[in-house]
Structure 1
Amino acid sequence: MVYISSCHSARIEYERCCETRHRERARFQCAVTWAAATSAPTVSSAQFVSARLGSARLRSALPSRRGPAAPGYVSSATGRLAVSMFLNTLTPKFYVALTGTSSLISGLILIFEWWYFRKYGTSFIEQVSVSHLRPLLGGVDSSSPSNSNTSSGDTESSRQSVSECKVWRNPLNLFRGAEYNRYTWVTGREPLTYYDMNLSAQDHQTFFTCDTDHLRPADAIMQKAWRERNPQARISAAHEALELEDCATAYILLAEEEATTIVEAEKLFKQALKAGESCYRRSQQLQHHGSQYEAQHRRDTNVLVYIKRRLAMCSRKLGRTREAVKMMRDLMKEFPLLSMFNIHENLLESLLELQNYADVQAVLAKYDDISLPKSATICYTAALLKARAVSDKFSPEAASRRGLSTAEMNAVEAIHRAVEFNPHVPKYLLEMKSLILPPEHILKRGDSEAIAYAFFHLQHWKRVEGALNLLHCTWEGTFRMIPYPLEKGHLFYPYPICTETADRELLPMFHEVSVYPKKELPFFILFTAGLCSFTAMLALLTHQFPELMGVFAKAFLSTLFAPLNFIMEKVESILPSSLWHQLTRI
């Protein structure tokens, strides 16, 4: 009992001194009283256990019996006493509020992370950490001079990546007024993105304008019209130019954007053809008189080729396929060097419509060359022709029993080659994904090219009996040949990383962009989902069993702080009391 009364008097003395704000005196008096308590007579075991239970907080706050306690020891013990008292005063409602708030915050973070990943294809937390925290943590800037050797060493791969991610004009692009606008009127959706239309405006300025346009009033008006963002302003400018003279580019603009049917567009293109041919003949005679005349002749050539190609497409859309094929062949013979329009892809589609497979094979033999850039039209048309030879008798069960014949092996290899070039096409041909109107520009090997190809060629695959069945059975085998498509390809270069970003710019928002290879969920989304689930479970358990969860929480916190308390005691026993006193004062 003497021991208990001594401890009690020490605590009362310390609290009285703290209330009077004499901190130094309080520490000194407490140390003296504790020294007196340590010299008290020894008590019995029962009395000692009772004393420990009655003064648990004081015993946890005071040092062991090492003699008089220094002020620094008392300060450290007081801090642990405050932590212990704080944990004991927490109620179950606090734990319910804590777990519920944590679950709510982690859930909001999870929703935002998922939305950001679906829209941009990356984790927001990961992007911020790489962009902002990495330089602060000592990340090396890629633009620094020290990396000049590395960047120069990657020149070839960078050039290949840029060429792979080049945006091309869709050779089978639709008419804005007669097709795209009609879709908007019916569905209320915009099939073209601003980025796609802006690229078309740049193409029109490149093909249909030259430096001498300001010398001719009608061409000067059209030069401004191609730069207008408002469609009505462009159409008004075209009518204004036609009031001055027969302007071929003005007819082109009206046929593309004002005509609401293909028949109206064809009439306007025929008028544009008359005006364009006269301008072409005049500039052809003067092209060698100077650089300005040469630029004007180049512009008139582009205008004439564009008009004839669109007239051939009008004939194809109106059912006059043989006439369209003749116009395309004549155009390719007259202007063999203008490969930028990719007229051979229009010709392939028309020949497939006529089921003239021998001529299709002849065109492929000319353009499916290793030195020429590939496209989904070339690769998948070659696969279709080889599949046509075996697809009507192909059976997966029979092939698994007897093996593949030479013709079947060639067809499967052609399909694997096509799928490696553009892995997005099979899902559209097999109708696993819904089609939308193709954009005016496409990215080779991307989702935009797959949509453009499947939109016009799905009917040709359906017409060949068993072709889609053969494609369905074999196309996924391609991915076993290229387990790491971003690093190494089989017949082509590695699949470019930039396709997803470019396709999101080219394709409308209501379309779900196809991504290859399929991205795994980022770590932070999985971590946030786990954290949200865990905190939600804790909140539910705390709400249902508050007392029990409170005991668990206190036990967990005590266990969590036990190593820290052990370290603090070791530090107190090692450091001199004067040094520890100075540290606690800081």
Structure 2
Amino acid sequence: MVLVIKSFMAFTVPKGIKSSWTRLWRQDIILYSIVCLKTSYLCFLVLLINSLVLFLLTVTVFLSTLTPKFYFALTVTSSFISGLIFVFEWWHFRKYGTSFIEQVSVSHLRPLIGGAENGPPAPVAFSANSGENETNRQNMPECKVWRNPLNLFRGAEYSRYMWVTGKEPLTYYDMNLSAQDHQNFFTCDTDALRPSDTVMQKAWRERNPQARIKAAYQALELNNDCATAYVLLAEEEATTIVDAEKYFKQALKAGETIYRRSQNCHSQSPQHEAQLRRDTNVLVYVKRRLAMCARKLGRIREAVKMMRDLMKEFPLLSMLNIHENLLEALLELQAYADVQAVLAKYDDISLPKSAAICYTAALLKARAVSERFSPETASKRGLSTAEINAVEAIHRAVEFNPHVPKYLLEMKSLVLPPEHILKRGDSEAVAYAFFHLQHWKRIEGALNLLHCTWEGTFHEVSVYPQKELPFFIHFTAGLCSFSAMLALLTHQFPELMVIFAKAVSIVSVVGLA
């Protein structure tokens, strides 16, 4: 027996037979798995079909129990809700110029799906960096909100209007933009290291003018050489231009000291460089406002000299539009040759266009022919070369901003110019006409030439601006109309509309299934 067991244990299966058994065993397992999967899938399909049939039967029974009154109430409610959405969309578009649904979608849904937000551009700071300024100048769109280069003083000029009329001369939106500008121009990251600058950083955020003035005095108690505190007092507390000039002179004295100190250590760290940029902003702002004070007080030649010196000292700051202040002062001096030289230097290629540039160029061209211009004579003999050049210059100006002529011709009443203007918009026209109407009146026949030629610029292409209705206004209007039509049909033909609604519902359910 032992020998038999030993001989059986010593028996070995041939190699070929062993591999065949292994292969057959694996094939059986694979076939068994496939059969099991197919069986499971068929069972799942049977269960799914049974569930769908049961669901369709349930839906059919539910729809059969609905009365025509239900469908009528449903369509009326749908029409009412879509009508409310349409009215709200229309109101929002008329007031703000954008679609509310589109705005919410862009603001909240687009970031969730990975889209980039198109936020409003940040205000441009007074930077002395040539590369930054060239890039900003090339990328700056024409139709954009800009700070008014000839903006009035709040305390000495805007406040007078409020004292007389009891009405605010500036909108909340305009003042909010100015607050953002002040924080961008007059603050930096190192303000926390100096108590006076910390106080002023809070002052620029204050909405109440009295709170801002109080904070400025607190900053001066901490540091008598706080230039930004003098700037705030000059802008808002001074009730006359003379008082504002005194404050600005104190700000200039303090600002120059701080600027020289920042120049000596600006290369030590990025924080020192940011502080130098802020101190440059303050110095340029103060010098510009001092020049404007001199212009308002009748010292026009002094103002022109200060503006020219400022443009020479900071030649890369053309984005501040100091040349527009210079143009207005030179026009007041009737130095038309100097005006032409400034226009030639700051041409439209290297600088974003403005109403001041376009209409001043048109004024100089009109000056050459306006005294002898007569519409009757021109219609008989035709226009001369100089008259053609003047008319073309007026047409170019009107194409850029078509709102200006009505203010220059006093067809629309003037109001105080805002602190910010929209290029090519009505606010820019108000700001230009407020300061330049007297220069057009001084040149005999200039307004007559403008009156005779400006309307010829308008044609179907140049109606400005044209706003297309947003998609969602069309969509909500169509949805409201369609729902109202269904409600009317349901009211007139209840039985037929019930059959139609049931058929559509069943087809929709089958399609989804």
Query: For 2:461, what is the secondary structure of its paired residue?
Result: coil
Spell out, residue by residue over 1:153-210, the C-alpha distance to the aligned partner (whole angstroms, 9 max, x if none).
xxxxxxx998233211100000000011111110111111111111111111111111
Amino acid aligned to 1:185:
W
Change (3 A) 1:116 1:161: farther
Matches within 5 A, 1:71-86: none
1:383 maps onto 2:358 in alignment: no
Change (3 A) 1:411 1:215: same
Amino acid aligned to 2:175:
M
2:462 aligned partner: 485
Change (3 A) 1:144 1:371: farther
**Whole-Å Cα distance in 2 between the matches of residues 400 and 518 of structure 1?**
37
Verify the 8 A CA contact 2:153 2:235 in the aligned structure 1.
yes
1:416 maps onto 2:395 in alignment: yes
Change (3 A) 1:283 1:162: closer
Change (3 A) 1:458 1:519: farther
1:437 maps onto 2:416 in alignment: yes
Equivalent in 170, 192, 199 of residue 214 of structure 1 = 192
Q: How far is 1:244 from its partner?
A: 1.6
Q: How far is 1:223 from its partner?
A: 1.0
Matches within 5 A, 1:284-433: 284-433=263-412
Spell out, residue by residue over 1:63-109, the C-alpha distance to the aligned partner (whole angstroms, 9 max, x if none).
xxxxxxxxxxxxxxxxxxxxxxxxxxxxxxxxxxxxxxxxxxxxxx9
2:164 aligned partner: 186
Higher relative contact order (CA 8 A, sep 6+): 2
162-171 or 385-394: which moved more?
Answer: 162-171
Change (3 A) 1:143 1:270: closer
1:226 maps onto 2:204 in alignment: yes
1:259 aligned partner: 238
Verify the 8 A CA contact 1:485 1:517 in the aligned structure 2.
no
Verify the 8 A CA contact 1:266 1:311 in the aligned structure 2.
yes
Spell out, residue by residue over 1:98-134, the C-alpha distance to the aligned partner (whole angstroms, 9 max, x if none).
xxxxxxxxxxx9xx99x96996398x9xx79x979xx
**Whole-Å Cα distance in 1 between the matches of residues 111 and 382 of structure 2?**
55
Amino acid aligned to 1:437:
L
Matches within 5 A, 1:549-560: none
Change (3 A) 1:464 1:215: same
Q: TM-score, normalised by structure 2?
A: 0.66
Verify the 8 A CA contact 2:252 2:283 in the aligned structure 1.
yes
Verify the 8 A CA contact 2:140 2:352 in the aligned structure 1.
no
Amino acid aligned to 1:199:
L
**Whole-Å Cα distance in 2 between the matches of residues 297 and 117 of structure 1?**
43
Query: For 1:275, what is the secondary structure of its paired residue?
Result: helix
1:175 maps onto 2:150 in alignment: no
1:446 maps onto 2:425 in alignment: yes
Task: Give the RMSD, CA atoms, in angstroms.
Answer: 3.7
Amino acid aligned to 1:485:
S
**Whole-Å Cα distance in 2 between the matches of residues 266 and 472 of structure 1?**
39
Change (3 A) 1:418 1:227: same
**Whole-Å Cα distance in 1 between the matches of residues 324 and 383 of structure 2?**
31
Amino acid aligned to 2:95:
Y
Amino acid aligned to 2:328:
E
Verify the 8 A CA contact 2:248 2:286 in the aligned structure 1.
yes
**Whole-Å Cα distance in 2 between the matches of residues 311 and 423 of structure 1?**
33
Verify the 8 A CA contact 2:231 2:247 in the aligned structure 1.
yes
Query: For 1:442, what is the secondary structure of its paired residue?
Result: strand
Verify the 8 A CA contact 1:252 1:269 in the aligned structure 2.
yes
Change (3 A) 1:409 1:248: same
**Whole-Å Cα distance in 2 between the matches of residues 161 and 190 of structure 1?**
35
**Whole-Å Cα distance in 1 between the matches of residues 110 and 267 of structure 2?**
49
Q: Could you list the runs of 5+ residues in structure 2 that have no partner in the other structure?
A: 1-83, 104-108, 117-137, 474-491, 497-513
1:199 aligned partner: 177
Verify the 8 A CA contact 2:287 2:310 in the aligned structure 1.
yes
Amino acid aligned to 1:243:
E
**Whole-Å Cα distance in 2 between the matches of residues 373 and 436 of structure 1?**
25
Query: For 2:267, what is the secondary structure of its paired residue?
Result: helix
Amino acid aligned to 2:306:
M
Verify the 8 A CA contact 2:407 2:429 in the aligned structure 1.
yes
**Whole-Å Cα distance in 1 between the matches of residues 441 and 467 of structure 2?**
28
Amino acid aligned to 1:193:
T
Q: How far is 1:254 from its partner?
A: 0.3
Amino acid aligned to 1:452:
A
Amino acid aligned to 2:458:
F
Query: For 2:146, what is the secondary structure of its paired residue?
Result: strand
Change (3 A) 1:519 1:470: farther
Equivalent in 430, 438, 458 of residue 459 of structure 1 = 438
Query: For 1:168, what is the secondary structure of its paired residue?
Result: strand
Amino acid aligned to 1:264:
D
1:473 maps onto 2:452 in alignment: yes
Change (3 A) 1:381 1:177: same
**Whole-Å Cα distance in 2 between the matches of residues 398 and 441 of structure 1?**
43
Equivalent in 251, 266, 277 of residue 272 of structure 1 = 251
**Whole-Å Cα distance in 2 between the matches of residues 517 and 365 of structure 1?**
32
Verify the 8 A CA contact 1:390 1:408 in the aligned structure 2.
yes
**Whole-Å Cα distance in 2 between the matches of residues 348 and 299 of structure 1?**
27
Amino acid aligned to 2:417:
P
**Whole-Å Cα distance in 1 between the matches of residues 94 and 156 of structure 2?**
31
Q: How far is 1:369 from its partner?
A: 2.9
Q: How far is 1:230 from its partner?
A: 1.2
**Whole-Å Cα distance in 2 between the matches of residues 229 and 143 of structure 1?**
32
Aligned length: 373
Query: For 2:205, what is the secondary structure of its paired residue?
Result: coil
Amino acid aligned to 1:377:
A
1:164 maps onto 2:142 in alignment: yes
Spell out, residue by residue over 1:317-339, the C-alpha distance to the aligned partner (whole angstroms, 9 max, x if none).
00110000000000000011112
1:120 maps onto 2:95 in alignment: yes
